[in-house]
A and B are shown apart, each in its own frame.
Chain A
Amino acid sequence: MQHGKYRFIVGFLAAPLALYALFVIWPFIQSIYYSLTDWSGLSPEFGFVGFDNYSRMLDDEIFWKSLQHSLTLAVVLPLVTVGLALFFAFMLNVGGRRRRGAAIAGVRGSAFYKIVYFFPQVLSIAIVALLFQFAYNPNSGAINSALKLVGLGSIQPDWLGDPDLALICVMAVLVWSTVGFFVVLFSAGMASIPRDFYEAALLDGASRFTTFFKITLPLLWDTVQSGWIYMGILALGAESFAVVQIMTVGPNGGGPDYSTVVLPLYVYQKAFRDGQAAYATTIGVALLLVTLAFAAVVMKLGRRERLEF
């Protein structure tokens, strides 16, 4: 057929594929292998120990704690973030006063709101975490000082220092920084829903809340679902690592009494602080399984008939 086609294909794929294989695929495969050894990561020698690391993991209290926290994040964060974002997006697109002729309208200044809400999304998660670490400071932080200013000086929580509150504080930061992204995403989805659907429903006497659950949500379902998975993976992965590692340092890292330790942070600590690389990869494999299971559950629960319009 075309002259030199295969040479071209090989030439173009070689560099990206090599880079990807060396730095992404190969380490992934290796980590599964390392989880079956007693490698410390410090010396090149190691022996094969079978599933010892896995049985050790099942007896590891901190592993269970971090698993529990990661699962909490994966359930609560998408729920709150996607819920809030849907609420705001619906307000922005449908909550407005009806103008002449239009069945539905966004609020005035909805474009402005979207710009503001999206702000935190472009900021580094490290910067966001640092900022809120100061805000949460129990003695002189912005939040407790604000409580004093409005006359609630008697309520001065320890925030990140309180084992019961620390994880909630961390989650609040992640919600704060991601809601705007989903507002914009869902707004784009809502804008593409044909107006006459709303017109027909409103003519039949449906309230706006009915139209949300009967029209907007079903037609937006695909976007909501991919947003849900995206947020869950984020909550299980790099973002939760950054927030927890930066905000809740503590003596052992991961908050007072391991109250905020999450799986990615525990992997990091085991590998690069305690010199237990093999065990760290074992926890990493557990994290991978949790992530895949999460995606599978969401897909399964979310399966509906696709609505075309």
Chain B
Amino acid sequence: MKTTDTATPGVETPGPSGGSGPVVTKTAAPTSRKESKSEGAVLNVFSHGVLIIWAIMVVMPLLWAVMTSFKTDRAIFTSPWSLPDGLHFENWSRAWSQAHMSDYFMNTIVVVGGSLVGTLLLGSMAAYVLARFDFPGNRFIYFLFIGGMSFPIILALVPLFYVMQNLALLNTPHGLILVYIAYSLPFTVFFLTAFFRTLPSSVAEAAFVDGASHTRTFFQVMLPMARPGLISVGIFNFLGQWNQYLLPTVLNTEQDQKVLSQGLVQLATSQGYKGDWSGLFAGLVMAMLPVLAAYIIFQRQVVAGLTAGAVK
């Protein structure tokens, strides 16, 4: 593969020899200052070459999807790589209204909004108690919660389907919200327990001595102090719940209740929509844009939120 220097703005082309060209391997010799310097230069060229290739491989499919969403169906099939002959915005409006993308968006916002609030509230309540109070069974409940992180969800899904059916929660937004919350609790409790342990206990004790109840201390003192942790775990859960595919596929099969990821997959396979590939691409890009925009704006917090659990 060739590396092109134009594809990635913001990256300076390395060295005098440019990004391409054969990589000369250093001959083994006692290292003097000079030699180690040239090793650095060669490595620098090589590093940039490899890094740029991967960057192109990441960006290319996404740009290709955006480009394709503006094409006519004919052009998509006859020349996938050529630029669109015009900006066919009608693909987008068709996807938004006729292909129910607007409904899927609404459903997703309702479900994710509800479960995000629920996850943060219930997760922080449980984590607070587990982190700061000593009582029999504390460890047991803690491990019960975090054990859920390593089990394959699909195993529980078969009986869960029938639990939901018996409770008349199947294909309802509130049912899906409750399940999202339940499956988000393991990581949330794990993360927030560690976080609450790091907060100074003197503040909470002072509030308690001043006559605040435990509940009041939690909501008015501890929760505001835990904001950075809540933001991290909130971003983690937001992305996880927004992108959730397995749970809604099994528990949420009613057409007008579908969430975004499900709706898109259905568009791709359904008979009624067959043939409208440009509309489907418009839908795909539409679904990608909010997350990508959020990622670019909150880049730091997203990365911190997603990697927070793994670094500890």
A residues sitting closer than 8 Å to B (CB atoms) are 2, 4-6, 8-9, 11-13, 15-17, 19-20, 22-28, 30-31, 34, 41, 87-88, 91-92, 95-98, 107-109, 112-127, 130-135, 139-142, 145-146, 149, 176, 179-181, 184-185, 188-189, 202, 205, 207-208, 223, 226-227, 230, 233, 236-238, 241-242, 245-246, 249, 264, 267-268, 271-272, 277, 280-281, 284-285, 287-288, 291-292, 295
Contacts and interface: CB of A to CB of B under 8 A. Distances in A.
Interface stretch (B95-103, B194-202, B226-234, B286-294): B286-294
A95 B39 contact: no
Contact of A97 (B10, B41, B80): B41
B51 A131 contact: no
A281 B306 contact: no
Contact of B40 (A98, A117, A119, A268): A98
Contacts of A145: 79-81
13 contacts: A5-B133, A23-B160, A28-B155, A98-B37, A98-B40, A107-B44, A109-B12, A119-B58, A130-B268, A131-B61, A141-B80, A142-B81, A281-B158
B292 A122 contact: yes
A103 to B, nearest CB: 10
B31 interface: yes
B246 interface: yes
Contacts of B206: none
B154 A20 contact: no
Contacts of B296: 115
Interface in B115-135: 122-123, 125-126, 128-130, 133, 135
B157 interface: yes
Nearest to A148: B81
A2 B201 CA distance: 15
A180 B58 contact: yes
B114 interface: no
B87 interface: no
Interface residues of B, number: 109
A98 B306 CA distance: 31
Given A12-B128, A30-B163, 9 more contacts: A5-B133, A31-B155, A116-B59, A124-B291, A132-B61, A140-B76, A176-B58, A238-B245, A291-B152
A97 B36 CA distance: 10
A267 B58 CA distance: 32
Q: Which 7 residue pairs spanning A and B have beta carbons closest together? A: A284-B155, A95-B47, A126-B261, A124-B243, A23-B182, A27-B156, A30-B159
A4 B214 contact: yes
B154 A140 contact: no
B113 to A, nearest CB: 17
Nearest to A135: B61
Given A30-B159, A95-B44, A98-B40, A120 B151 contact: no
If over half of B's interface residues share one DSSP class (helix, strand or loop), that class is named, otherwise mixed; here it is: helix
Nearest to B154: A264
A31 B181 CA distance: 21
Contacts of B264: 126-127, 130
B282 interface: no
Nearest to A115: B299
Nearest to B15: A97
Which of B157, B162, B268, B288 has the most chain A CB within a 10 Å cutoff? B157
A237 B55 CA distance: 27
Nearest to A266: B154
B225 interface: no
Contacts of A27: 156-160, 163
A119 B14 contact: no
Given A98-B40, A140-B76, A295-B150, A16 B155 contact: no
B77 A127 contact: no
A184 B310 CA distance: 11
Given A131-B284, A288-B151, A6 B135 contact: yes
A302 to B, nearest CB: 15
B55 A116 contact: yes
B12 A108 contact: yes
Interface string B162-195: 1100000000000000110111011001000000
A241 B122 contact: no
Contacts of B213: 4, 8
B254 to A, nearest CB: 15
Contacts of B11: 108-109, 112-113
A117 B54 contact: yes
A23 B179 CA distance: 6
Contacts of B46: 95
Contacts of A135: 61, 64
A19 B154 contact: no
B217 to A, nearest CB: 9
B248 to A, nearest CB: 10
Contacts of A277: 158, 162
